Structure 1
Amino acid sequence: MDIQQLKGLIEQMTLDEKIAQLLQLTAHFHEGTDNEGQVTGPMEEMGITESMVRASGSVLGLSGAQAVIDVQNAYLQKNRLGIPLMFMADVVHGFKTIFPIPLAIGCSWDTDLAEKSAEIAAKESAVSGIHVTFAPMVDLVRDPRWGRVMETTGEDPYLNSLFAKAFVRGYQGDRLKENPDRLAACVKHFAAYGAPEGGRDYNTVNMSERQLREYYLPAYKAALDEGCEMVMTSFNTVDGIPATGNEKLMRGILRDEWNFDGVLISDWASIREMIAHGAAEDDREAAYRAIRAGVDIEMMTPCYVRHLPELIESGRVDEALIDEAVLRILRLKDKLGLFENPLRAADPDREREVVFCAEHRQAAYELAAKSSVLLKNNGVLPLRADANVALIGPFAQSNDILGWWSCVGSKEDAASLGLSLKERLAEGKLRSAEGCGIDSMTQEQLNEALETAQNADIIVLALGEESAMSGEGGSRTNIRLPEAQLELVKQLKTLGRPLAAVIFNGRPLDLHGIFEETDAVLEAWFPGSEGGAAIADILVGRVNPSARLTMSFPQSAGQIPVYYNHFNTGRPMDPQKTEERYVSKYIDSPNEPLLPFGFGLSYTTFEYSDLKISGHEMKAGESLTVQVKVTNTGERDGVETVQLYIRDVAAEVVRPLRELKGFEKLALAPGESGIASFTLTEEQLRYHHSDLSFTSDPGTFQVFVGSNCRDTLSGSFKLI
């Protein structure tokens, strides 16, 4: 349908029908599901009627091809104008085939694999009846206490932007109507949801507009530049105004400045939550503020359907705002091809063939293998094929490795580390014991662990957070592993055997009690459906780890926020004069994180040399080439992620000590050298000035190239 046809359809709608299109409800409100009268109470409580449900525009959280077909058919039988429903769900890192959590995907530094993971998730979702995914989440994060760091790709705006684009390409493809195996993507959470005070979910966000534009907005903009069809508002305030009712943010930046004309949806109940924020007196005022801000779909509260009619009748809201919102919603339904085929790709027979198929599981394995970061290794990994191994810890046999937001993924489908490792140590011996629970230990468990490990050549510790300890609502003040697990490590240390720790978790942790007590540490994150197999292959050396951190690991929670692209301050600490008092430092902790951004080890080693910059000066419109030689100095094939950083030494606004501007992966055989080459342009040197203009400053720029943000070779040039 063209725009005129869609507008003609809107002209046939009553005001109540138009407003109902703005309402999103969970599936159990609709006919065709097994609700059997269970919704009368919720409907009365929400103040919605059957006629509102019959005209509502979209459904949240239903999947399964037959279930979607049943609800859509029942709905269309009673919808006066035959306008189909849209079905939406949180498909964050896989549908049934679960990939590593997004933070782990970020650590792969592999945007092609990230795109592939989204494409597979879309295919499984679409055949199961879903039309829209509430992903990608691109919130920049600097505080690992916040549970939702697991949904992001890290602390760097440049890298987050690359992954934002990759995920959107994977979910949406080129044209949704001609490509029913893809989904419409919804970038979230707009804006700055990743910066809550104290790392506490849903909490206040407070920053300057310059900081917002410099670090937090780029990844959202990147997703929209890639064609992302939807945006979700965030729960938090931005400059004292809840995002869902923030006209400057939603109308000013998103609509007017960025020219976004797609669908804007509230997060769950966030329109009504303006009352709790103190930005609206009641539902009526909340509806007024949200529609004025340009929110098209209200998720799971009735402020619009109950109060927009009277707000229009009183003249306080122009009905044209409703028409605009409905047009955007209908246009997305048309892009999805729902007017021609309301069932779209939903197909129970094909669903059984596609979902969780071998091809998809192989892709999940590959991404898990490339997302696990080797943080420490004193030569005890990889395991010898004939080694006598004791696998001890609460994750030894656990299949709780999918992580939060694992959609319809099943833990039972995920092979445990213990089972996978046993298959790979046929020549050796593997004995296993739980040792402790996630946060508890009995004497019997400890005794069994000590006995199991007594005669081992090496002890592999399988430790971590259970999935519910991160994710939405999973904020923590203490980000160390639970005391029971730390005690288990301490007790096993007394046996005098080498210790290698595998950590399953959803955030950067304070690793004290683990890092200094063990000989090797592998950060597995929540690696997904095939994570057990991938981690086992890394441990035995079939896979050489290549992942690199995209969030810094703190020394302790007291350091937070700790991130690589920080300012220098007026009194920076001289590392050679740590006894000085009146400088910016802690008296009980280093300033530096335990592990820096970009860090990760391999089973081989790499040497950097011969940094070359093609010139000493750069003019606008010109570019410089930066090259470095990298040599594999070890005994195994390996992949090195070469990272390019810059620093603007003196600027109108203080600039970070390091800013990532590029990276290149080099696959090198033992003794082989390769050249990593980067192009730097004047555009890459621009930043937001105090007046919010986006320009560069002439002067000296430092260039750093290395294996992470800390360990680099350096040079410089001048912008003139």
Structure 2
Amino acid sequence: MPRPLAQKPLVYQQAHRPVAERVTDLLHRMTVEEKAGQLFHTMVMTGENGGLADDPQRAPGGATARQMVLDRHMTHFNLLGSAGAREMAEWHNRLQELAADTRLGIPVTLSTDPRHAFTDNPGTGMHAGPFSQWPETLGLAAVRDAGLVRDFADTVRREYLSVGLRVALHPQVDLATEPRWSRISGTFGEDADLTARLAAAYIEGLRGPGDELGPDSVAAMVKHFPGGGPQKDGEDPHFPYGREQVYPGGFFEHHLKPFAACIAAGATQVMPYYGMPVGTEYEEVAFGFNRGILTGLLRERLGFTGIVVADWGVLTDGNVMGEPQAARAWGVEHLTPKQRLLKALNAGVDQFGGETCYDMVVDLVRSGELAESRLDASVSLLLAEKFRLGLFDERRYVDPDVAEATVGRADFRAAGDRAQRRSLTLLTNGRAGATAPLPLTGRPRLYLDGMDAGTAAEYADVVPEPAAADFAVLRLDTPYEPRPGVFESFFRAGRLDFTQPRLDEILRLLGRVPTVVVIRLERPAIIPEISERALALLADYGADDRAVLDVLFGRFAPEGQLPFQLPRSMAEVTAGHPDQPQQSTAPVHAFGHGLRYAAPSSR
């Protein structure tokens, strides 16, 4: 176990004192440089065998954890990548030991993007790896059970806590009103009321026991204020062509509902998105620089009193996956990085993701452009969060044995497996008036496309050709337009319909053998012909082959309901309003659609 914390200010030994007093005591001992370091929250990676990664060439942003803690006074980090539970816990403890040896010994707060599902995008979420695996947030929304969402978030909390992860860079409560947007799989769908109800349960599950954040909590960073869904043409503002958020349907207020619910549920951190509002009453600058949005709307009108964290990389140019990346400073590109920083602080930002430029804050204070009292206001919020999370007390270190026993625990994995099955959404099941083909019975001869033959062989006789099959099972992903950049290629955006050659290939199979189509809905796919000609159509939002086969063979009943409409054509999508939900008057399948059949053991 790590050695005890060296003797530090009394705030470390006086846990009984009110948090406000402890914050004031520590703040008065801090230099401007030490305060400035708290305003930056950037990426970090584990080293080999639980050690600190000391090679600057492999470090995100070119600075090692040692350099950021010791030289830049930073204590907030976003963990990238994955390792075994023991290695993650040991690495966390070594990072905390490093921080404990600084002058004031301020503990590290470690955050992470989602890591309990199937997404593997270094910019938005990581594959589950050693953690229990659940459907994407869309799949939780398909079940529409606040209790399930609360249980999921509680599992996330317990697994995160065991390895030292204390801030969840989620939930994502944007509304999926623009079907082409690449980040829909991380949302609860297009309905504001459903999203609000489930997001509140998510916050409660991460918080854990009690009504307030405490040592057994994981803080939630709700994103992306004031709602990232209304993207012009569905493009994402990670990239300059997606910088504009538009509201032609007049639904700006509609997108605020989930955030109001999260604030009421006790969310302590909020992240504004990269986008800039166009054609509204607000300044046409990115939300992280927008005082009307962050101070006027979020703080003054909605009453948020917590931490505002700007999304990653809004101040300085950088390098992402070997490619140059301009700062996502949409609307303020003409400003210098230091001017952007000052504008964001004046707008209401407390902390900057993906940046390490603490020296710019120091320069602004020394020059008199930034009052130290303004710096103190943000640092006080950040320190208070650390105190409430118990990081100055019993929660500074974790036990690697407990981590190894907790992450991916059998009951957590079983709960994730059940959630995958519950989320599956049966869209069609044979023709009207005919006997429903699902669930399948006996051991039929199956032809597979996109499914593991070894797994399927436990349920059926797998054959190599459609002509020899009783049925085919075809697994598909939602169509998208590949993008050229390495980082950009992870964002599946653009058209939602299959190219004609691919659609013809699919329809030929459907014409040769009765075919059950299973499509992963990362976004609202346009599949009218497939829906019409498939023997049955099943939607998933992140589910392994065994989960799918359990439902196809009736060992588990599907419970999912669509969390968005499935539009009929791209013409319908392009003519729609990006800010308005449920616009199709004749969708292929409506919001909330989902068929049922009984299964002998659906729990």
Q: TM-score range by the shorter chain?
A: 0.7 to 0.9
Q: Structure 2: how far apart are the matches of 1:150 and 1:41? A: 26
Note if contact 2:216-2:389 (Cα within 8 Å) is conserved in structure 1.
Answer: no
Q: 1:475 to 1:360 in 2, by over 3 A?
A: same
Match of 1:492 among 486, 498, 509: 509
Partner of 2:251: 211
Kept in 1: contact 2:99–2:106 (CA 8 A): no
Residue 176 of structure 1 and its aligned partner are, at CA, apart by 9.2
Three-state SS of the structure 1 residue aligned to 2:252 is helix
Matched, 1:193 2:228: yes
Deviation, structure 1 residue 24: 1.6
Q: Supply the distance in 2 between the matched residues of 1:217 and 1:74 (Cα, whole angstroms).
A: 41
| Deviation digits for residues 442-472 of structure 1 (CA, Å, limit 9, x no counterpart) | xxxxxxxxxx221222222222259997998
| Residue 82 (1) aligns with residue 95 (2) | no
Residue deviations 1:113-133 (CA, integer Å, cap 9, x gap): 111111111211111111111
Is structure 2 residue 286 aligned with structure 1 residue 286?
no
**CA drift at 1:318:** 1.8
Alignment of 1:683-698 (within 5 A): none
Q: Give the corresponding residue for 1:147.
A: 182
SS of equivalent residue, structure 1 residue 375: strand
**Distance of 1:564 and 1:75 partners within structure 2:** 45
| Residue 421 (structure 2) aligned to one of 357, 369, 379 | 369
CA distance in 1, matches of 2:510, 2:545: 25
Shift of 1:89: 0.6
Any conservation in 1 of the 2:566–2:588 contact (CA below 8 Å)? yes
Aligned twin of 1:225 = 264
Match among 451, 458, 477 for residue 396 of structure 1: 451
* Secondary structure, aligned partner of 1:27: strand
Equivalent residues in 2 for 1:37-186, closer than 5 Å: 37-38=56-57, 42=61, 53=71, 55-61=73-79, 64-77=88-101, 79-91=102-114, 93=116, 95=128, 96-175=131-210, 180-186=215-221
Alpha-carbon deviation of 1:56?
0.7
Distance 1:565 1:65, change over 3 A: closer
Which of 542, 547, 553 pairs up with 1:540?
Answer: 553
Unaligned residue ranges in structure 1 (runs of 5+): 398-417, 434-451, 570-589, 605-635, 640-666, 668-720
Distance 1:340 1:487 in 2: 63
Distance 1:526 1:600, change over 3 A: same
- Match of residue 353 from structure 1: 405
Change (3 A) 1:210 1:461: closer
In the alignment, is residue 321 of structure 1 matched against residue 370 of structure 2?
no
Q: Give 1:385's match in structure 2, choosing from 425, 435, 441.
A: 441
With over 3 angstroms needed to count, the CA separation of the structure-2 counterparts of 1:352 and 1:638, relative to structure 1, is: closer
CA deviations 1:176-229 (Å, max 9, x no partner) are 99965531111001122111100001121123896322x101101111111112
1:174 Cα shift? 3.5
How far apart are 1:154 and its partner, in Å?
Answer: 0.8
Q: Partners in 1 of 2:141 and 2:60 — Cα distance?
A: 43
- Would the alpha carbon gap of residues 483 and 4 (structure 1) be closer, same or farther in structure 2, given more than 3 Å must change? same
Q: Does the aligned pair in 2 maintain the 1:102–1:150 contact within 8 Å?
A: yes
Q: Any idea what the Cα deviations from partners look like across 1:581-640, whole Å, max 9, x if unmatched?
A: xxxxxxxxx842211111111126xxxxxxxxxxxxxxxxxxxxxxxxxxxxxxx7999x
1:555 to 565, 568, 593: 568
Matching residue within 529, 532, 541 for 1:516: 532
1:545 counterpart SS class: coil
Q: What is the rounded CA distance, in whole Å, between the counterparts of 2:555 and 2:225 in structure 1?
A: 41
Return 217-226 or 349-358, whichever deviates more: 349-358
Secondary structure in 2 matching 1:201: coil
Aligned to 2:594: 600
The 3 A distance-change label for structure 1 pair 421 and 19 is same
Contact 2:141 2:189 in 1 (8 A): yes
Q: Distance in 2 between matches of 1:554 and 1:185?
A: 33
* 1:257/1:41 CA distance change after superposition, 3 Å: closer
Corresponding position of 2:44: 27
Aligned position for 2:307: 263
Alignment partner, residue 4 of structure 1: 21
Q: Is the 8 A contact 2:556 2:600 kept in 1?
A: no
Please give the residue correspondences for 1:414-429 in structure 2 after superposition, counting only pairs within 5 Å.
Answer: 418-425=453-460, 429=461
Whichever residue aligns with residue 539 of structure 1, its letter is L
Give the CA deviation at 1:139. 0.3
RMSD: 3.4
Residue correspondence of structure 1 range 281-680 to structure 2 within 5 A: 281-303=335-357, 305-341=358-394, 343-344=396-397, 346-378=398-430, 379-393=435-449, 395-397=450-452, 418-425=453-460, 429-431=461-463, 452-465=465-478, 474-481=491-498, 485-495=502-512, 497-527=513-543, 531-560=544-573, 591-603=585-597
- Give the whole-Å Cα distance in 1 for the aligned partners of 2:111 and 2:501: 40
- Whose radius of gyration is greater, 1 or 2? 1
Per the TM alignment, residue 483 of structure 1 is displaced from its structure 2 partner at its CA by: 5.6
Q: Deviations 1:493-531 (Å, cap 9, x if unpaired)?
A: 343x3221111241110114422221210002222xxx3
Amino acid paired to 1:542: R
Indicate if the aligned counterparts of 1:107 and 1:373 stay in contact, CA closer than 8 A: yes
Provide the C-alpha distance between the structure 2 equivalents of 1:150 and 1:325, rounded to a whole number of angstroms: 32
What displacement does 1:386 show?
2.1
Contact 1:29–1:35 (CA under 8 A) maintained in structure 2: no
2:289–2:347 contact (8 Å) kept in structure 1: yes
Question: Aligned partners of 1:556 and 1:51: how far apart in 2?
Answer: 52
Report percent identity of matched pairs.
Answer: 25
Equivalent pair of 2:517/2:536 in contact (CA under 8 Å): yes
Q: Distance in 2 between matches of 1:349 and 1:274?
A: 41
Contact persistence 1:20–1:53 (CA under 8 A): no
Q: 1:317 to 1:567 in 2, by over 3 A?
A: closer
Secondary structure, in 3 states, of the residue corresponding to 2:300? helix
Residue-by-residue CA offset, 1:547-594 (whole Å, 9 max, x unaligned) = 11111101122211669996999xxxxxxxxxxxxxxxxxxxx84221
- Greater RCO structure (CA 8 Å; 6+ sep): 2
In the aligned structure 2, how far is the partner of 1:68 from the partner of 1:176? 27
**5+ residue gaps, structure 2:** 1-16, 83-87, 118-127, 317-326
CA distance 1:475–1:558, change in 2 (3 Å): farther
- Inter-partner Cα distance in structure 2 for 1:230 and 1:210: 27
CA distance in 1, matches of 2:451, 2:481: 18
Letter paired with 2:187 = T
Question: Hey, what does 2:120 align to over in structure 1?
Answer: none
- Paired AA for residue 552 in structure 2: L
Cα separation, 1, equivalents of 2:481 and 2:24 = 46
Q: How far apart in 2 are the matches of 1:85 and 1:468?
A: 40
Tell me the distance in 2 between the aligned counterparts of 1:467 and 1:476.
5
Q: What SS does the corresponding residue of 1:424 show, helix, strand or coil?
A: coil
How far 1:534 moved relative to its partner?
Answer: 2.1
Matched to 2:26, the amino acid is L
C-alpha separation in 1, matches of 2:577 and 2:447: 34
**Distance in 2 of aligned mates of 1:592 and 1:385:** 34
Decide which moves more: 309-318 or 498-507.
309-318
The alpha-carbon distance between structure 1 residues 263 and 477, as it changes in their structure 2 partners (threshold 3 A), is same
The residue identity in structure 2 corresponding to 1:310 is D
CA contact (8 A) 2:479 2:498 kept: no
Greater strand fraction, Structure 1 or Structure 2: 1
2:85 corresponds in structure 1 to none
Amino acid paired to 1:602: R
Between the aligned partners of 1:179 and 1:167, the Cα distance in structure 2 is: 16
